[in-house]
Amino acid sequence: MPTSFEGGGGSLSLPPAPRARHRSRRERLELFSARVPFRLKLVVVWATILVLLVSLFAAADFDVAWMREHAAFIVKGITWTIVIAVLSILLACTLALLGALGRLSRNAIAVGVSGFYVSFFRGTPLIVQLFLIYLALPQIGIALGDPWADILTLDVLTAGVLALGLNYGAYMTEIFRAGIQSVGHGQSEAAEALGMTYSQKMRRVVLPQGLRVIVPPTGNEFIAMMKDTALVSFLGASIDQMEIFRRAQLVGKADFRNLEALLIAALVYWALTTIFQYFQLRLERRLSRGHVRGTAGVAVQGQSRMASMSG
């Protein structure tokens, strides 16, 4: 709207302020964007990113023929990557549960041991722990003599699983502790009133309810652990037990195609994490479904009681 000023010589009209034009144009863009479905905008963003990546890939002049020839060799490492990750997460969950129970215990020995375990394995790098277990334990075994020399001399796979399980178990201890503490004290008191022992109370009452809090971050830890299995390659492995990164590193160095080999490995890791993220979301929705339904039921009961009291 034009602005007018009155003076001695008459009135003077000014054009609309530029800011008003800019604001109206922005509002039109916002209205247009509001009419476009969110999923369509998301598809456009992903398509734009993929076009840019394909353009960069074409400009970099990768050896596509070499990538096609050696992709199968690198992809075969998926088996050992998953095996190491699954065995490590099982060990980590066991240690995390014991560590969480120790941190919540009133026993000084349990609190001290669990606290030292969490402090050490969270305070030192994972790569250092891998070499400590693979290289230092045999030296301790030799110093102790038989049969410790044979017991503490581990192969690459066992050392990698042990290091990953110990490291991630220390971090997951706090996840399990938070999940156990999320269950109300009334549940524990009710279980004790029914005459349940401590193990029965944890197994039948506390842990099943705490899983709703424990599962989502545990899934994230598993995905991170699956990528950290690449660190096991620094210990060396036989060709029939090499995971994705070790295979990519070996074949890339042999043909001086490190970039192509690592790109294949990155795509394989990306595909694996995408698949496991999908199943993680499905599991989270399934676990939260009963909780949401129960919460809604409590809310409906409360509303009906209020209505009956007001009537």
CATH code, domain with 251: 1.10.3720.10
Per-residue CA distances from 282 to 147, 159, 215, 270, 294 (Å): 48, 32, 11, 19, 19
Do 175 and 118 form a contact (C-beta atoms < 8 A)? no
Tokens 């969490």 correspond to 118
Q: Are residues 97 and 120 in the same domain?
A: yes
Domain count, the chain: 2
List per-residue pLDDT tens for the chain, 311 residues long.
555 555 555 555 555 555 545 567 778 777 877 888 888 889 999 999 999 988 888 787 788 889 999 999 999 999 999 999 999 999 999 999 999 999 988 889 999 999 999 999 999 999 999 999 999 999 998 888 888 888 888 888 999 999 999 999 999 999 999 998 888 888 888 888 888 888 888 888 888 888 888 988 999 999 999 999 999 988 887 777 788 998 999 999 888 888 899 999 999 999 999 999 998 888 888 877 755 444 444 333 444 444 444 44
Q: Are residues 35 and 76 in the same domain?
A: no
Q: Are residues 195 and 155 in the same domain?
A: yes
**Long-range pairs of 150-158 with CB within 8 A, sequence gap ≥ 24:** 156/232, 156/235, 156/236, 156/237, 156/238, 156/241, 157/80, 157/84, 157/232, 157/237, 157/241
Q: Does 1 reside within a domain?
A: no
Q: Does 296 reside within a domain?
A: no
Q: Are residues 92 and 220 in the same domain?
A: yes
Q: Does 182 reside within a domain?
A: yes
Q: What are phi and psi of 261, to 5 degrees?
A: -65, -45
Q: Which residues pair with 13 in a beta bridge?
A: 4
Q: Are residues 42 and 116 in the same domain?
A: no
Q: Are residues 227 and 244 in the same domain?
A: yes
pTM of the model: 0.76
Q: Which residues pair with 5 in a beta bridge?
A: 12
| Domain with 115 in it | 65-287
Q: Which residues of 246-256 are buried (b: 16+ CB within 10 A; e: fewer)?
A: bbbbbbbeeee
Q: Does 3 reside within a domain?
A: no
Q: Are residues 47 and 190 in the same domain?
A: no
Q: Are residues 90 and 53 in the same domain?
A: no
Q: Does 300 reside within a domain?
A: no
